[in-house]
Copies of this chain bind each other. A is one copy, B any other.
């Protein structure tokens, strides 16, 4: 991972963190304080960074993406809180610290996440700096991704343990396309809603293709890290998929083939942005950052 890419990632993540800070520190008491706890954990901020990176590529003003980025991260974090609950993954560690239900109790964590999902829409509905039609298009994209994400989580807890190699691979791809891919694709597509309608369609089909391969890449490397990384580096309980017997790219294809698949996805993702030339440099380099990450 080149220093230049890291600094670009951090630059965009810091822009987002500055937007997040007043939201998080301003919440005293009640459910907002509980979701703030999870929001302020040192996350990668991948979805906001992807959204901002596309905005730079398309020459869309970064400031106009403030509430869409907050909304994306709220949806992501609400889903993490629910995913960690005993009824789902039953995880006690998240980003190196106690998960919300361990710290605040199950009822409060469940409700704080519900509250945060509503807030993901509220932060957008009331942002009058974004034209009404654009705001609705962004809201629609995020609500659809949030629905898909839930479907993916259901597949995660009900994934068939057996099947042919092809069936297992198809099931893996569908599950991850919904669970992780949907919100990543939403993040990538949002900036194009700020473009004039005529330019939008062409951009969106390129970005969808990138999003498809990038989402896969992200999930395959996640599965690889689950067996090769340490809990300390990842800041969460590892191998829980393995313990539950949920198929992963590593359990279905083996470690070596999973690494090949990750490299293939990275190449296809990079290629899908070739027409953007130099402007796609950061997003293309990000594919290698994700492929070679250690957490």
**Which residues of A come within 8 Å of B, CB atoms?**
30-31, 78-79, 82, 85, 87-88, 106-108, 110-112, 114-115, 117-119, 121-122, 125-126, 132-133, 135-136, 139-140, 143-144, 146-147, 150-151, 153-154, 157-158
Say how far A130's CB is from chain B's closest CB, in angstroms. Answer: 10
Q: Is the interface of A mostly helix, strand, loop or mixed?
A: helix
Most chain B CB inside 10 Å of its own CB: which residue of A115, A139, A150, A151: A150
- Copies of this chain per assembly: 2
* Residues B143 and A30 in contact, CB atoms below 8 Å apart: no
Q: Which residue of the partner chain B has the closest CB to A85?
A: B110
* Residues B150 and A114 in contact, CB atoms below 8 Å apart: yes
Question: Quick one: which of B122, B144, B157 contacts A122, CB cutoff 8 A?
Answer: B144
Question: Quick one: which of B78, B106, B118, B144 contacts A146, CB cutoff 8 A?
Answer: B118
* Residues A125 and B143 in contact, CB atoms below 8 Å apart: yes
* Residues B140 and A126 in contact, CB atoms below 8 Å apart: yes
Q: How far is the CA of A140 from the CA of B132 in the complex (A)?
A: 12
Q: Lowest 6 A-B CB distances belong to which pairs?
A: A125-B140, A118-B146, A87-B106, A122-B143, A115-B150, A132-B132
